[in-house]
Amino acid sequence: MKKIKLYGFNNLTKTLSFNIYDVCYAKTEVEKEEYIKYIDEQYNSNRLTKILYDVTEIIGACVLNVSKQDYEPQGASVNILISEEMIEEHLIDESCNLGKSIEKDSLMGHLDKSHLTVHTYPESHPEHSISTFRVDIDVSTCGTISPLKALNYLISSFDSDIITLDYRVRGFTRELDSKKCFIDHKINSIQNYINKDKLLEYNSIDVNIFQSNIFHTKMMKRNLELEDYIFNKKVKDINKDKQKIILNKLEREMLEIFNGSNIY
């Protein structure tokens, strides 16, 4: 593809917002507590930090600063500041830890011009037999590096029943003749950047505003295998009628999340 010749620095901001939902059938209080505990251990701040480090490497950026925190009773957050290129050590602010303090209970990370953040939200209700786990990830970059390069890795890093994706290119840079450039790559759907085999596992829809360089994709698992959604139980121990009731509850929960509205 022919490269656009720019005047000065490419200051286009490209932001990918990535939300995943994991859904689980957990009827008793003990099952709910065990599910939340499992999720909290599975996606603690150390593992989330490792995922964001991998994203940084995939998009070709460098870590400047990292902060992370686990919460009581559950949940975790990580924030990483990155740079498009290596920065000479004497130019780096002394408050930046370059990720070296990653073993501390809490820490924070930054990139120059760019950042990555992740937050987790485990959720259950005493009168509801479906528990959910949500992960919100934002990857924001400036310059030539693109967060879309890490999209397939992010999807594969989590158990994703519902996925919502937002991608936006903001600002402008200039070509040599001073003409404004509002986007420096071709895109008509986020789905173009998702592995085709993975796409086959989901029902997907797009809502795009091309003139504003805003792209939105929602995805929901096509086929539900009950074994994958029952926490600490076996399908064979549940009678057929009960299995249908549980599947209906799971499908309703997923449809409500996918559509962003309650179903009555």
pLDDT at site 180: 87
Enumerate long-range contacts of 238-247, CB under 8 Å, 24 or more apart: 246/25, 246/129
pLDDT at site 89: 57
How would residue 36 be classed by pLDDT, with cut points 50, 70 and 90?
confident
- Give, in order, the Cα–Cα distances in Å from 83 to each of 33, 112, 184: 40, 4, 19
Cα 26 to the chain's mean position, in Å? 24
**Higher per-residue confidence, 259 vs 103:** 259
- β-sheet bridge partners, residue 230: 25
Residue 211 has pLDDT above 60, yes or no: yes
In this structure, what DSSP letter does residue 143 have?
S
Residues 6 or more apart from 134 whose CB is under 8 A from it? 19, 20, 21, 22, 120, 121, 122, 123
- Give, in order, the Cα–Cα distances in Å from 235 to each of 59, 122, 124, 199, 239: 41, 24, 22, 27, 8
Mean pLDDT of 106-111: 38
| Bond before 73 cis per omega within 30 degrees | yes
- Rounded CA-CA distance 192/148 in Å is 10
Mean pLDDT of 94-114: 47
Q: What is the pLDDT of residues 143-164, one digit of tens each?
A: 777 899 999 999 999 888 999 9
Query: At 210, phi and psi to the nearest 5?
Result: -60, -40
Residue 207 has pLDDT above 90, yes or no: yes
Most confident of 105-119, 171-185, 200-214: 200-214
Residue 85 has pLDDT above 50, yes or no: yes
- Rounded CA-CA distance 165/260 in Å is 14
In this structure, what DSSP letter does residue 175 have?
B
Among the ranges given (57-71, 184-198, 234-248), the one the predictor scored with the smallest mean pLDDT:
57-71
How would residue 86 be classed by pLDDT, with cut points 50, 70 and 90?
low
Burial class, 151, CB count within 10 angstroms (exposed 0-12 / middle 13-18 / buried 19+): buried
The residues annotated with a catalytic role in the active site are: 114, 119, 142
pLDDT at site 108: 38
- Rounded CA-CA distance 191/199 in Å is 8
Q: What is the pLDDT of residues 1-31, one digit of tens each?
A: 455 565 556 778 899 998 999 999 988 888 8
Residue type, 128: H
DSSP calls for 2-28: PPPPBSS----EEEEEEEEEEEEE--S
